[in-house]
Each structure stands twice: as C-alpha cells, then as structure tokens.
Homo-oligomer: A and B are copies of this chain.
Amino acid sequence: MSVTAAAGFRASGVTAGLKASGKPDVALVVNDGPSFAGAAVFTTNRCKAHPVVWSEQAAADGRIDAVVLNSGGANCYTGAEGFATVHFTAEHVADLLGTSAGDVVVCSTGLIGEHLDRAKLSAGVSAAVTALAPGGGDAAATAIMTTDTVSKQAVAAREGWTVGGMAKGAGMLAPALATMLVVVTTDALVDAEVADRALRRATSRTFDRIDSDGCMSTNDTVVLMTSGASGVTPDEADFADAVEEVCRGLARQLLADAEGAKHDIAIEVVGAANEADAIEAGRTISRSNLLKCAIFGEDPNWGRVLAALGTTSAAFEPDHVDVSFNGVKVCAAGEPGESRDLVDLSARDVVIRVDLHAGEAEVTTWTNDLTVDYVHENSAYST
C-alpha cells in the first residue's frame, strides 16, 4: 500500500494520455492531516526541471498538503510555457482539494525538452482527485513508472505508527541528494524540522549511495509528508530509522530494476581514513565503465578497480590495497593474490571489497553492471 500505508493519506493513479503507451501517468498523494509538516530534497543538477523549481519553493515553509506526479514528460527545458504548466497544475490541484497551490508539490518524469499537453494533464488531475482513496497507494506507484519494469513500494510498521513510500526510477541514478521521484508518508506526529532532518539523513545514506550509471537527472525529488494521524510522536532516532528503512528498501528496488542490468554490485570500501574518502573511492569505482563491463562478462578484473581508485584523492598507498570479489582476495597488498578462477560472478549480487588500509571508515555504495541491454534501452529511449 506504500504511500497509503500510514493513516491520514489518500492516493490515486489514473491514465491521462500523456504516455503514448496508454498506461497510467498521473498520480496524486493527499495528506488529510491533522498535521501537514513535510520536507523535501531535490536534485543538485543546475539544469533543474520546472517542477523542481516550483516545488523547492512549495516545500520551503515545511508544509506539504499534496504531491501530484506525472510520467510521460519531464517538463524540463520547456521555457515559460513549461513553468506555466506547473503553476496551472498546482493551482488546479489546490482548487479541487480546497487548499493552497503553495502547499502542492509537483513532480514530472519522462523526456526532456517536450511540452506536456496541458489539457490532458488537467483532465488527468481532475480524474485523479475523483479517484483518491485510502487504498490508492498501489495505483499511485504504478502511475509514476517510466522504464521501470515493476513498481517500487516499501513500508516500515512500528508500534502505533507507520512510514510508507513509493519510488520511480530505473536509470539516470547518480547521487546528488535525490536521484528519482520518491514520496514517503507517515502518520507519526512530528514537526517539519524533525521530518527534514530524518529525510536528509536517510537520503544521504541510501539514495545518495546508489550510482547506477553516473548520470544525474534534472527532476529528482524526494518528498516526506506527515499526517500526525496516529497521534504518536516517536523518539526522533526511531523515527529517523524508520524513514531510512523505507528509503533503503526503495533504493534497493531501484537498483534491482536498473535499466538492462544483470548484476547488482555492492562496493564495500573499508579501511578508509574517513567517510569522505570511502565515499569518493566507492563512487569513482562505481563509475568505471570498464569495470562495469567486466562484471557483465563475469570477469573479476581487479586491475580496473585499482585504475579507478588511482584517480581519487582518497588516502591510500597503492601497494597496501586489497581487493576481493565475492570473498576471494584476488589482489593482496597491491599484488596478485588468490586465483581469479576461484571467483564466481554468475549470481546477480556481486560484492567488491576494497581495503585501503588507511584507517577505520567504511562505506558501501551500489552500482550495476554495464550491459548490452543498457546500451540498447538508452539508445532508443526518446525515439
């Protein structure tokens, strides 16, 4: 039930005709309160889509009444007309719900540089309002899919309160606060500052540590809405843990559904001097096309791990580094270690462990392999 797992929310997903495929393409998630505290994080891409520009302002005051999302078009680089479409959409939602447009977050996903059909979108929004239901989470999660092959939903149930979420994303996954469209809801009674801290911590530890293809989107948005409908105010740490649990669950689902991927690769950087070094090393390794091709070929090519590591500023001595693939230490102290032949990379999950022997910090980042299917999917997306 995802975004409607927590009390105080209704959702819907409808077909507005924005997608050529005729699949659902408009989703709406509404907070019925009694509390309306919310928080959001956005892409750090400087080329932001119009919905992001709008929603940054809408979320700034810590109140979010509703999130309207469309697939079938990113509404990015569409000029003044594109921004007017966002404004119109927020006003339309607000009119129908009897709230303020300034409390409506708008999210779009799809191709950049194409105008959305405002008439279709408007009719879709009206239909979405009509379809709102306390059990509408599944429909909403389905309506935000683009190249996703499955909808992504996660729930963390606690004693008397709940956090639930939905996500869309199957490509352009790269860290920059958010990396996809995500809506998380909770009936816990928390204020906007607590919500903001919890969401920022969760995204930095989950979505920010996925790097499927190194490409950062223009539309990324992660929204957290709180209804307070449970009447329970959890301990802040417990609340943050539940939000992180939902975000982690969604993040793993995004990775598992990455376009064309055959392997999910965890890069465990250990023995780093500090967390920043571990993150830099993990991200850089995760972006090596050559390594990602090798994993597709089920080849434990550790030289490509070291070649990527050598381009970072992380503290390490090249002749101290160990590299293991699925537990086989193929590189020990910068020299050939156990035989490559012992490594089995046939399963989807692959663990590459890199010990820098420079300290105590550890960070795991995730990526996918680079496959023939990735190239096929991304060579034909807009045509």
Which residues of A come within 8 Å of B, CB atoms? 44-48, 74, 76-79, 111-115, 171-172, 176, 213-218, 287-290, 293-294, 296-297, 299, 301-304, 306-312, 318-319, 330-331, 333-336, 340, 370-372, 374-383
Contacts and interface: CB of A to CB of B under 8 A. Distances in A.
A288 B215 contact: yes
Nearest to A77: B334
- Report, nearest first, the 6 A-B pairs whose CB atoms are least far apart: A112-B303, A297-B379, A47-B310, A293-B378, A79-B335, A45-B310
Given A318-B47, A331-B77, A382-B299, A374 B293 contact: yes
A218 to B, nearest CB: 5
Given A306-B112, A372-B376, A382 B294 contact: yes
Contacts of A294: 378-379, 381-382
Given A45-B307, A112-B307, A319-B79, A289 B379 contact: no
Each complex incorporates copies of this chain amounting to 2
Given A293-B375, A318-B47, A381 B310 contact: no
B336 A77 contact: yes
Contacts of A217: 307
B218 A310 contact: yes
6 contacts: A171-B290, A176-B311, A216-B307, A294-B381, A299-B380, A375-B375
A378 B111 CA distance: 30
Nearest to A376: B372
Contacts of A330: 113
Contacts of A376: 372
Contact of A290 (B114, B312, B378): B378
A376 B294 CA distance: 9
A370 B377 CA distance: 12
A111 B375 contact: no
Contacts of A302: 77, 112-113
Contacts of A304: 112, 215
A377 B380 CA distance: 21
Contacts of A46: 309-312, 318
A218 B307 contact: yes
A378 B375 CA distance: 14
A343 B112 CA distance: 17
A247 to B, nearest CB: 22
Contacts of A114: 336
Nearest to A112: B303
A214 B289 contact: yes
B297 A383 contact: yes
Contacts of A299: 379-383
A376 to B, nearest CB: 7
A378 to B, nearest CB: 4
A331 B281 CA distance: 36
Contacts of A297: 378-381, 383
Contacts of A45: 307, 310-311
